[in-house]
Structure 1
Amino acid sequence: MSYATLKQTLDQVINHFERKPEKALFTYEARTEYGDGLSVIAKAQQFAFKIDEPRNIGGKDQAPKPTEYALAALGACHSIVYKALALKEGIEVDEVKVDLKAVSDSLGFFGIDPDVRPGFQKIELETEVTSGAPVEKLEEIFQQVEKLCPVNDIIANPVPITQKVAVQNSKGEIIRI
């Protein structure tokens, strides 16, 4: 898609939500189904993708781990938001690359140490932008990315999670816990 077409599309979307803010609320859905070993097939919209764990903990190492998908989602979101904000400002950005690194401690994941978080202890991002725009303008955009990236917000701020569990026993009865 050309720069002009992409900018026009983004401007139309923004104008639509400004005129009709009630249309800006979305519900996202996904489903995961247990596969073999420790693998899972995830489905979102019309897409399906595999998630697995490495062999050393019982997986088959056939796909990224859930945490790697989370990390990749953060990088992708930063790239998209950077490009969208640049388009909004009329700035051409040729390329955005985000290198991410996260540290986790398996003592938390395996419940060995209850004081250790099971998730990431820290995440580091390094963004590389290719553009002919003035560095000051690109820096202004960069300052907004962290605030406006939805995945960054999901990771950085607590999101209420409600959970229900239904167990089907050997008699075929469904028991809700």
Structure 2
Amino acid sequence: MKIELNRIDNDFHFELKNERGHISYIDSKAAVGGHDLAPSPMEYVLMGVAGCSSIDIISILKKQRQEITDYKVSVNGIREKIEDATPFKTIEVTVFLEGDIQPEKAKRAAQLSFEKYCSVSKTLEPTATIEYKVVVNNKKV
């Protein structure tokens, strides 16, 4: 897996390209010298948690013939200052599912994702606690 980064401006706006040609952008907030034209690197980390776990959860539920009519995820990262860095201490994930879904299957799919399959979560596991909850048809499981 390889990513190439090219600087776009004289500050912190960058274009990133993967081996398959997909392009994304990164910037920083104006408060730290950027122009806030794209998500920050740390926001992309949270997006990675959301995306990776979602692929797992939906894949597991599809194999179990669960009918998902709507799917959303909310991710909140809580950071802690350690020397000069501010890594994530806790990442809180809420998975919202709607459809003809057995709540216990949704809960188990999330558990498998966060505790076994999601490579992003497993990468962060040594330094951040990932907490998750599942809501099916507006009811917490």
- TM-score normalised by structure 1 residue count: 0.64
Matches within 5 A, 1:17-32: 28-32=1-5
Matches within 5 A, 1:75-90: 75-90=50-65
Unaligned 5+ segments in structure 2 are 128-141
Amino acid at match of 1:154: T
Aligned counterpart for 2:88 among listed residues 108, 120, 137: 120
- Deviations along 1:94-140, one digit per CA (max 9) or x if unpaired, are 222110111224x54xxxx36xx531121111111112122222222
C-alpha distance in structure 2 between counterparts of 1:74 and 1:55, whole Å: 25
Q: Count residues with an aligned counterpart.
A: 124
Unaligned 5+ segments in structure 1 are 1-27, 159-177
Highest Rg: 1 or 2?
A: 1
Give the RMSD, CA atoms, in angstroms.
1.8
Which protein is richer in helix relative to its size?
1
State the SS of the aligned residue for 2:108. helix
Tell me the percent identity.
Answer: 23
Which protein is richer in strand relative to its size?
2
Q: Within the alignment, does 1:52 sit opposite 2:27 as a pair?
A: yes
C-alpha distance in structure 2 between counterparts of 1:95 and 1:150, whole Å: 24
- What is aligned with 1:166? none
Aligned counterpart for 2:74 among listed residues 99, 105, 109: 99
Shift of 1:54: 0.6
Amino acid at match of 2:86: P
Aligned counterpart for 1:155 among listed residues 118, 121, 124: 124
Contact 1:31-1:43 within 8 A present in 2 as well: yes
C-alpha distance in structure 1 between counterparts of 2:65 and 2:37, whole Å: 42
Structure of higher RCO (CA pairs closer than 8 Å, 6+ residues apart): 2
Contact 1:78-1:98 within 8 A present in 2 as well: no
C-alpha distance in structure 1 between counterparts of 2:113 and 2:68, whole Å: 14
